Structure 1
């Protein structure tokens, strides 16, 4: 058998078991993985004239060694290697720290190229590496820097990539069809791989990056659009035939009128329910926009059509909160509803499961308890997942598979700009509630420096005297040696001492056991605690209308969208509410972000600003966002390419020849799509 691009990296010389394991940890298993493990940046190591160099700039200097290399030792494991080069008639001091092994490379009188950081005041260079000698290797102008780990150095990765390219470059697949390469003026993928790893100019690197980004966006979008077409074309979705008059009566009976945005979203969802197609919809709504009532209308419509619904939420507190509010709506209508969580007692749980399986229950609200093996439905028609990013793909699938292709509605309070949502969640339909209900009292937001915290405490105490409650948020649980930020444990102790016997202070953080967290949240909800000191675990949590003050320490360490989510924990009742951001921003951008928070309460506006200022990683906070993780492409910086790829993918998937034309065979192979006949695909 000949060599293949999907051969294990272990076929390369010098890749033993340990090195293979180190590569595997980086997501590199095959030769193709290795060639796709692109540098995340480049060092410009072109030799520069002394007069062109700025202070603290990383540069390459080349000259002749004019002094012996001397190693000085200080401390048990520290050393300093010093020597001098003559460059353009100037004598420059060179220092390497903890690299005494380089001494043998420094030969008096020989030419030497050194890469390091320039100190303009001292006319000296702190060496990073020796690039070449008159008798050694020549240097390139750009050095590729790779993501590495303890098991393998980035220099070793570069050498392995070089070997892999030399031996396998002719097998690198060309996924982008020729017509798209011509349309977007893209180089071949083979050239792009070379240009990414071994660029000789910025232009070569730029052209390589354009092709690599478009290809990975195209492959991603093709998977999404193929899935979307499969879902739409299958035609095996449920047809939930609710009575329109009954649904209208239910909506009319609500104690408030729906906003225009809620009405629009309700129409979109209810139209999906009645269609025989499978619903796969994402509902976005800002904090307090009324997603729960929209979900309630969908639940009622499903029950009216004699189907069952499941509403899965990430915490018991949230499940109980939904149970309480939905029971008030449904009990008078004899819609049968139950709550199932990890805390449900054995006897009660057995009764609930029996009624669910027998069809005596219309709606079940619960946590992960809903996806246990012994949970069976009689006629599951609708699955709603609240804060969908808090659940894994498999967890959501387990619940969905408990019915025969039930309609699916995901809900999230993390605002994502519409264009980005459509492009990144391309397999779903997207509904957005972009309007807040009338009558909501705006949250007054201010920001202050840490030196004014005494005034913040005084303001908070005035609110506590009125019978209200307060949150105090910190970025860390415990003290950190590396970060100069406030921690929850320290603040909890200080506030407990400050308020002494006047007010009870509680502590909540992610290291606590679930039962402990639930207990603290219950105490706060029942007003047994006046102040709750917490990390961001309360970002999505219980509804406490009596909490009117939100204090966020080190607010400049959070993204705007996360700050907005935290702010949304207050302002849920009829009292005026306040959010105080305590921050000491070190940059103009940091100050601008604090000002933006005080100027708008619109989560979608803030998410747009976050995208501009910080990028997608900070906007969505953690890897739980469900957004794709591209190797090179940036969904914000390269949004134009992402949108172009989406449009091209949609056209390809809807082209009857896509699954049968030989010119798309490599693309189909890379996507893992089976070759179907034109008749089967349509």
Structure 2
């Protein structure tokens, strides 16, 4: 049987002091079994000795030398300087940080074995902080390459190597997978694969060895997520079957027909809501694919069944936009929609809370204010979370928990690549809106150097004179919100001077909510021709007459942000354009990002390439606060992800004991993190 995971708060490392155990914990190693899967970063060749005269500058090598002199020099800074030699020549060793114990052993006459990079220096050929040990007699050289492991401050390689070697001898590395699966998938032996990777560089290892480790890691993740999914289905939730009266009335009065994709997804959502266990569905749709109307239908279905429904959005601009759109659709049906936000006047807020608490209002829209203490729902049956990736795991759960095991619909306009949906989101049911409503015009994207800014200002003037409206997005300055505000105000002042005949508005994160709302309302009414904005307009802003967007310093933005911003135009019949102004010189990453956004309009393709550029850790953002990241598996290996997913289902139904042993090996004490 595999070694049991360490109990929470207890770290089990035979041969390690408590201080070392704490440092191991910092590396995410919670028990001795975890050491087995702590694989080397690289290997160093300590199998032979190089003569000093044969040293190659810039290359790492190992030498056997004798100390000739050792002294502390004070210029240009305090350092320990040792002169050493072998039969072929001499070297200088320099230590900027040293202990008295090191000074004591580096005395003239001491024989050393040193390893490090050689370079030219002030005193001739030198090594800075080489790794060394004192030789006592003839010591045999290692016969294999020396592994170098990921570590943390205060945890030396020698200690790590000793503990890992011991773990490889003591931990039970017996097979956790049934023989039938190992044979069918032609998997390499687990124990032999792990031992091989501790002694063989990655590029020299057999491909089957890496494949086995990657598969096992993916399998553990899939088993854990599928368990979480199954556990959730054991909970009871209100069955929101409804009679279809309100949903049919909404569909009849809408000025448009649902697309085929919207109809398919509505059937999926309606089917989930009718079940007696909580829905946990992620609705993905590119910018403008029509997610809001599906949220409205789901909320109406909850009302038909006698329950309340709440929609939470990450920003006040987006939440208010949802509120206005839902109120416009639902008031004609005789339904009141309550509004809750942090900036609301106390009296208004208390009145809304009283109605919600008494069950007099069935539909509620708001920001984070919905999850504050004191917000009580009479019968919450459905929680809708828009732009779910903007909320942390706990925030999403907080709204859901306002109703006992209520249904949850998460919406995202940031498309998730298929392999990511199959791996990190395997505990959710995923619906995809892969069809845009008719009448949406494709947005033309142009890349323009900042030196041609005057031409772009003239283009804005022309568009606004022709009755169109435009956005001018100010550069992203992540380090400082104050600096970003200053830049936005300066841009507003410059454009106001350059375009005196236009009405120009300014909106940014520091504006009070009512001021922000007033500017946005004036823009919607076409009283403002050009809106200067920070990224607060990234999601949810819907002004069909706006056909031109300029993004300044586009090289500072991520791909998802650029795609979201671009989605603010192209919402009407007029031909739309998004102009990306960039400053030279461009980094390789910035160049790659701009190339991707220029060549692609499809959000899913952009997301796939973004995943390739950044890796899953950055891509999934807040989802990772509660999810162990994959260390060895490559999500672009779709076949392996598919195989792991199918095998997880098979093991949970046919070999549950094997599945538990596999989880214990790979996740140890971290499995509970997935419950969120």
Q: TM-score range by the shorter chain?
A: 0.7 to 0.9
Change (3 A) 1:360 1:143: same
2:602 aligned with 1:602: yes
Q: In structure 2, what is the Cα distance between the partners aligned to 1:386 and 1:210?
A: 37
Deviations 1:211-235 (A, max 9, x none): 4433332222112222333445x48
| Counterpart contact for 1:525–1:544, Cα < 8 Å | no
1:539 alignment counterpart: 538
Superposed, 1:180-259 pairs within 5 Å as 180-184=181-185, 186=187, 194-197=195-198, 199=200, 203=204, 209-232=210-233, 234=234, 236-244=236-244, 247-259=247-259
Deviations 1:618-656 (A, max 9, x none): 544x3446794325234525544332221101112233x
Q: In structure 2, what is the Cα distance between the partners aligned to 1:56 and 1:547?
A: 61
Q: In structure 2, what is the Cα distance between the partners aligned to 1:566 and 1:92?
A: 62
Q: In structure 2, what is the Cα distance between the partners aligned to 1:455 and 1:667?
A: 62
1:678 alignment counterpart: none
Q: Unaligned regions of 5+ residues in structure 1, if any? A: 480-485, 674-682
Superposed, 1:288-307 pairs within 5 Å as 288-307=288-307
Q: In structure 1, what is the Cα distance between the partners aligned to 2:371 and 2:386?
A: 15
| Counterpart contact for 1:554–1:584, Cα < 8 Å | no
Q: In structure 2, what is the Cα distance between the partners aligned to 1:6 and 1:107?
A: 48
TM-score between the two structures when normalised by the length of structure 2: 0.79
Segment of structure 1 superposing worse, 92-101 or 24-33: 92-101
What secondary structure does 2:435 align onto? coil
Change (3 A) 1:311 1:665: closer
Change (3 A) 1:196 1:223: same
Q: In structure 2, what is the Cα distance between the partners aligned to 1:376 and 1:113?
A: 68
1:676 alignment counterpart: none
1:488 alignment counterpart: 484
Change (3 A) 1:69 1:195: farther
| Counterpart contact for 2:343–2:513, Cα < 8 Å | no
Q: In structure 1, what is the Cα distance between the partners aligned to 2:457 and 2:67?
A: 64
Q: In structure 1, what is the Cα distance between the partners aligned to 2:453 and 2:56?
A: 38
Change (3 A) 1:112 1:21: closer
The Cα shift of 1:326 comes to 0.6
Deviations 1:121-169 (A, max 9, x none): x9967656335676578565243231424xx345376256347627x72
What secondary structure does 1:652 align onto? helix
Superposed, 1:581-620 pairs within 5 Å as 581-584=581-584, 586=586, 590-620=590-620
Out of 140, 145, 170, the residue aligned to residue 141 of structure 1 is 145
Superposed, 1:472-511 pairs within 5 Å as 472-478=474-480, 488=484, 491-492=487-488, 494-496=490-492, 498-499=494-495, 502=500, 506=506, 508=508
- Aligned residues between the structures: 644
The Cα shift of 1:391 comes to 2.4
Q: In structure 2, what is the Cα distance between the partners aligned to 1:55 and 1:525?
A: 69
2:667 aligned with 1:666: no
| Counterpart contact for 1:554–1:582, Cα < 8 Å | yes
Superposed, 1:388-467 pairs within 5 Å as 388-460=388-460
Deviations 1:12-63 (A, max 9, x none): 556345x555444443444444555x2462144467999xx99996532546
Change (3 A) 1:668 1:206: closer
Q: In structure 1, what is the Cα distance between the partners aligned to 2:23 and 2:335?
A: 56
What secondary structure does 1:431 align onto? strand
1:644 alignment counterpart: 643
2:65 aligned with 1:60: no
Change (3 A) 1:23 1:162: closer
The Cα shift of 1:328 comes to 0.6
The Cα shift of 1:332 comes to 0.8
| Counterpart contact for 1:113–1:130, Cα < 8 Å | yes
| Counterpart contact for 1:47–1:60, Cα < 8 Å | no
What secondary structure does 1:654 align onto? helix
Q: In structure 2, what is the Cα distance between the partners aligned to 1:261 and 1:638?
A: 28
2:170 alignment counterpart: 169
Q: In structure 2, what is the Cα distance between the partners aligned to 1:40 and 1:572?
A: 52
What secondary structure does 2:265 align onto? helix
| Counterpart contact for 2:470–2:531, Cα < 8 Å | no
Change (3 A) 1:292 1:203: same
Change (3 A) 1:492 1:328: closer
Q: In structure 1, what is the Cα distance between the partners aligned to 2:86 and 2:517?
A: 69
The Cα shift of 1:440 comes to 1.9
* Greater relative contact order structure (CA < 8 Å, 6+ sep): 2
| Counterpart contact for 1:302–1:308, Cα < 8 Å | yes
Q: In structure 2, what is the Cα distance between the partners aligned to 1:634 and 1:201?
A: 13
The Cα shift of 1:435 comes to 1.8
The Cα shift of 1:459 comes to 4.2
Superposed, 1:513-528 pairs within 5 Å as 516=512, 519-520=515-516, 523=519, 526-527=522-523
| Counterpart contact for 2:6–2:12, Cα < 8 Å | no
Q: In structure 1, what is the Cα distance between the partners aligned to 2:460 and 2:318?
A: 26
Segment of structure 1 superposing worse, 338-347 or 240-249: 240-249
Change (3 A) 1:63 1:272: same
Change (3 A) 1:61 1:457: farther
TM-score between the two structures when normalised by the length of structure 1: 0.79
Q: Unaligned regions of 5+ residues in structure 2, if any? A: 670-676
Q: In structure 2, what is the Cα distance between the partners aligned to 1:457 and 1:599?
A: 24
1:677 alignment counterpart: none
Change (3 A) 1:184 1:127: farther
